[in-house]
Chain A
Amino acid sequence: MSTLSRDDVAHLASLARIALSDAELDRMCGELDVILDAVATVQQAPTEGVEPMSHPMPLTNVTRPDEVKPSLTAGEALSGAPEAESDRFSVPRILDED
């Protein structure tokens, strides 16, 4: 089950929004197979009845009061923008809205 086809990797790359070249795709297929073989050993661990652990420390209910804190200025917010216009981030045309 840990074999990824070239199409699988292409699909994952599209989900991850990385335009892999053909050469990269070829190379990555082989590399990922090696890694997947290694990581698949988690499936041999004695995990029956074991609760998954998402957080290393057992903290709960960490919240902050609903109080306004200073924001950045528009200038600071936009300081790293590849393109900006009228204090907004300028982005290429968006294909469709969900």
Chain B
Amino acid sequence: MSDAPVSYAPSGGPDEVCSYEDTVAAYDPVLGLEVHVELGTKTKMFCGCPTEFGADPNTQVCPVCLGLPGALPVVNETGVESAIKIGLALNCEIATWCRFARKNYFYPDMPKNFQTSQYDEPIAFNGWLDVLLEDGSTYRVPIERAHMEEDTGKSTHVGGATGRIHGADYSLVDYNRAGIPLIEIVTKPMTGVGDRAPEIAKAYVGALRDLLRALGVSDVKMEQGSLRCDANVSLRAKVGDDPGSEAQQEVPLGTRTETKNVNSLRSVERAVRYEMTRHAAVLSAGQTIVQETRHWHEDTGVTTSGRVKSDAEDYRYFPEPDLVPIAPDREWVERLRASLPEPPAQRRRRLQETWGFSDLEMRDVVNAGAVELIEATVAAGATPAGARKWWGGELARRANADGRDLGDMGVTPAAIAQLDGLVQSGRLNDSMARQVLDGVLAGEGMPLHVADARGLAVVQDDGALTEAVNTVLAANPDLVDKIRAGKVQAAGALIGQVMKATKGQADAAKVRQLIMDTVAPEQG
């Protein structure tokens, strides 16, 4: 019983860092990732309060999630099922019997001053997730556990120079978020990853995000905090050139830091890379790494010191007496397993085949995070090649330049499908299509509207087209009669034949107009 009290690291100037090349030349990184996912359940984990984002402060609270004396928790069944689904999708074993536990520590945004969580009996454990790396190889991320817990309230810090927590005069707390279900997914320490550590970190979080989205258990919006990542990084001396060698694995692990507040895919990679280079600078200077929490700053691209992790952190976990054990029987688990969607890796192979993409093309699409977007765009009527060209090319380039996620660009699959249609029909050429995209991104509306408004269209060669139309009309007098009889839909077959005759270069709308003008001018 001689633990030091909680102490606080001084916040000094910017830290020294090594170059990444020097870092990986001298050190072998060990990586661990903890991801917190807010489930998309209608209600909180232990009470019936709604979970909608952005409600007025303290309007989605009740005696339970406010920690009022006397209130008792009751487990959200959908929360448990989501946890089991996540566990199954991560190839985990599902506990046959497990309990909730109380994690005791005081903090003003935690209403009961304990977090209802799971300790040594997680609902899912010992799994893995395959992630695709940029060189086309697959890395199997080992999963330690996935467990259920609850979120905390949110503090706003008032006063002080920066509005941040340091130097604030007081804080205002909104407990709407308190009690929202969280699943914490923890990887085993990843050794032998070498200089690929930052890439693996990003690929893992991206793959996990895709998986959770496919499962439909969370909206996984990193910018709203529904998926949050903490990255644990440590370095140890490098032995030889093979990070997977036995000699390398025998070197004891270095002191680790836990970097919090990593809230975009790009940040995951940058934060891991930054911490590696910072550790390397500290170690190269003959100093030691302080075991602490680091805060990632998206704007400046650095981490700063948070709370020092000391032995004084004693959470006094014990089984939650107010909740009874969860014992998922085989039937329950198998029913949930049967409800799982196709695993992303399998789905990727299937889609690649359907779309006819090369391995290289598919890899680029996956790396750009564009698989779902392309799928939706094709479903909206675009050609796979066209959808890939836009999402995997132009939009991916712009997203990357802006540091944004592809899905947050403000352009929908339906818009891209329409844009692709305009190009396919010959209405727009490539350069015009890019101008239209500019308009769409600028909020001017759907592509057709933008093209009309901006007066963008390939000049149509009416002479050649009229000739093709006349040829087709002459060859199909029965269809012409049908149109004249009012069956306008018969024009579709004629349009198809004209498009075929013009090798798809014609503007389908123009063809239709020519047909109608010729066959039934009075219906114009």
Contacts and interface: CB of A to CB of B under 8 A. Distances in A.
Given A74-B58, A94-B157, A96-B307, A68 B42 contact: yes
B175 interface: yes
Interface in A54-85: 54-55, 57, 59-74, 77-78, 85
Nearest to B329: A61
Contacts of B312: 11, 15
B107 interface: yes
Nearest to B314: A15
A59 B166 CA distance: 46
Among B3, B43, B172, max chain A CB count under 10 A is at B172
Nearest to A86: B172
Given A55-B321, A72-B63, A87 B75 contact: no
The interface size bin for chain A is: 35 or more
A56 B514 CA distance: 83
Interface stretch (B28-36, B45-53, B386-394, B473-481): B45-53
Contacts of B97: 60
A98 interface: yes
A71 B50 contact: yes
Contacts of B170: 90-93
A40 interface: no
Contacts of B293: 98
Among B1, B314, B321, max chain A CB count under 10 A is at B1
Contacts of A87: 56-59, 174
B165 interface: yes
A88 B173 contact: yes
A62 B314 contact: no
Contacts of A91: 108, 155, 170-173
Interface of B is mostly: loop
Nearest to A15: B314
Given A54-B319, A93-B170, A98-B307, A59 B324 contact: yes
Interface stretch (B77-85, B272-280, B283-291): B77-85
B490 interface: no
B62 A71 contact: yes
Nearest to A57: B324
Contacts of A97: 155, 165, 306-307
Given A15-B314, A72-B62, A64 B165 contact: no
Given A66-B79, A94-B157, A95-B8, A54 B62 contact: no
Contacts of A7: 1-2
B107 A98 contact: yes
A88 B175 CA distance: 8
A61 B98 CA distance: 10
B41 A71 contact: no
A4 B57 contact: no
Nearest to A74: B58
Interface string B1-30: 111010010000000000000000000000
Given A62-B75, A63-B77, A72-B63, A88 B49 contact: no
A60 B78 contact: no
B58 A94 contact: no
B58 to A, nearest CB: 4
A77 B328 CA distance: 35
Given A90-B170, A98-B307, A60 B324 contact: yes
A8 interface: yes
A38 to B, nearest CB: 19
Given A54-B319, A71-B49, A61 B58 contact: no
10 contacts: A7-B1, A7-B2, A17-B113, A61-B326, A64-B48, A66-B78, A87-B57, A91-B171, A92-B170, A94-B171
